Structure 1
Amino acid sequence: MTVAPDKNKLYPNENIRTVCYIKNLPSRPNVEIGDYTYYSDNTNSPENFYDNIQHHYDFLGDRLIIGKFCAIAEGVTFIMNGANHRMDGFTTYPFNIFAGGWEKVTPTIEQLPFKGDTLIGNDVWLGQHVTIMPGVKIGDGAIVAANSTVVKSVEPYTIVGGNPANAIKKRFSDEMIKLLLELQWWNWDEKKIFENLEQLVSINDIATLKKLLNEE
């Protein structure tokens, strides 16, 4: 009996070629993608996902880490630390990149703003044309509304939207969020997920959640 799509296939459903499991694209340095996380693109091939990771330079060492079971919509853009300009002088203009003598003011890495790794949790939904700025951390179960620009970290199971993105509401009560973070269903094996699909997609009461936790 089949209990899950093949997580090692680029296109898990051959009839839908606009959605791919990102992990199965050719690897890229400093990018880590969890199982079952997908990118959907109806305009271009979803195989162009890496084009959405911008200003990502190996020598800076910042990482983009995306967890399991994330849904990433068309046009989501990750701005990495390589986009930052030096900000401690009278101007932010990057003279050095144009050479012609201006390279004498090439900044050191220590002089450039560095926000650290960009971390996307598990079961996160990023809507169309969302922009994620450097060093942002988005918690498990969060939702980011379409066309939002995320400039600060997002708490787990929180819906945010706007430019800059602000919290709209929590998806569940604090008690339920605490239990969901303990449950970590995305780490279950395929058989257990299959056996509990109905509960995962349609039931959101405390009693069911506690029952699932007790079965751990």
Structure 2
Amino acid sequence: MPNSFPPPHLRHPLILPDGTTHIGTVFLKAVIDHPRIEVGEYTYADAFDPPANWAARLAPYLHPQSSERLVIGKFCQIADGVEFITASANHRYDGGSSYPFALFDGGIGTERASLPRPGPDTVIGNDVWLGRRAMILPGAQVGDGVIVGAGAVVAGEVPAYSIVAGNPARVVRQRFACRTAERWQALAWWDWPIAMILEHEEAICGGDLSVLEQVRPT
């Protein structure tokens, strides 16, 4: 077990073998201050060209005045190029034109006919791995423990502990049998104190549910 673990409010938590800080890796909770984004502790993101504004890089269409939210759980892993296309990016497409006339004459924030109605939140569970250049579409609900393949385009509801890939993303396989996935969710190790998580790192990463169920906090 390591001697220490970086706190979730640390901007750059990754120290390279030569002792330098890897500026392309950040704990998102430390770098995002956006009224419509909620990020859990220890969730990190990587970028080969680190942006000055991580919120704008990850969710470029989510504005402070947007009605929807982007919610990301704890201990998620977000690779370079991942993008969340939130509901504010939508155009109305149920009529004769999708052109947003109201955007160009001061009609933002009104109920103009050329603007779509407010859309749903986008929610990412805990311990989710989003592969490089994955795109998460408006209103996606990604369950705990999901792995999203590189370049996948994800919409709708993704079951917990599944692996999805492709465009549109489809479930490739389940990581565990249904009952086992339910046990992992009930365990909710991501809510444990970090010291306890590190103490049981081998059991968590090795999948030893029997040990974890015996030691979990009551």
Per-residue CA distance 1:64-85 (angstroms, 9 max, x = gap): 1101100000011111111111
Moved over 3 A (4+): 106-111
The reply on whether 1:214 has 2:218 as its aligned counterpart is no
Task: Name the aligned partner's letter for residue 112 of structure 1.
Answer: P
1:79/1:131 contact within 8 Å kept: yes
The reply on whether 1:195 has 2:195 as its aligned counterpart is no
Per-residue CA distance 1:89-126 (angstroms, 9 max, x = gap): 11212233344xx97xx753896144311100000000
Report how many aligned residue pairs link the two structures: 207
Structure 1: gaps (5+ residues): none
2:147/2:163 contact within 8 Å kept: yes
Higher helix share: 1
1:3/1:190 contact within 8 Å kept: no
CA distance in 2, matches of 1:47, 1:157: 33
> Counterpart in 2 of 1:153?
157
2:136/2:153 contact within 8 Å kept: yes
Give the SS at the match of 1:181. Answer: helix
The reply on whether 1:185 has 2:186 as its aligned counterpart is no
Per-residue CA distance 1:40-77 (angstroms, 9 max, x = gap): 112x1155422221221333321111011000000111
RMSD: 2.2
> Counterpart in 1 of 2:5?
4
> Counterpart in 1 of 2:41?
35
Task: Give the TM-score, by structure 1 length.
Answer: 0.87
> Counterpart in 1 of 2:166?
162
1:60/1:109 contact within 8 Å kept: no
The reply on whether 1:45 has 2:50 as its aligned counterpart is yes
Give the SS at the match of 1:59. Answer: coil
Structure 2: gaps (5+ residues): none
2:76/2:126 contact within 8 Å kept: yes
2:36/2:70 contact within 8 Å kept: yes
Q: Superposed, which structure 2 residues align to 1:62-73 within 5 Å?
A: 62-73=68-79
Task: Give the TM-score, by structure 2 length.
Answer: 0.86
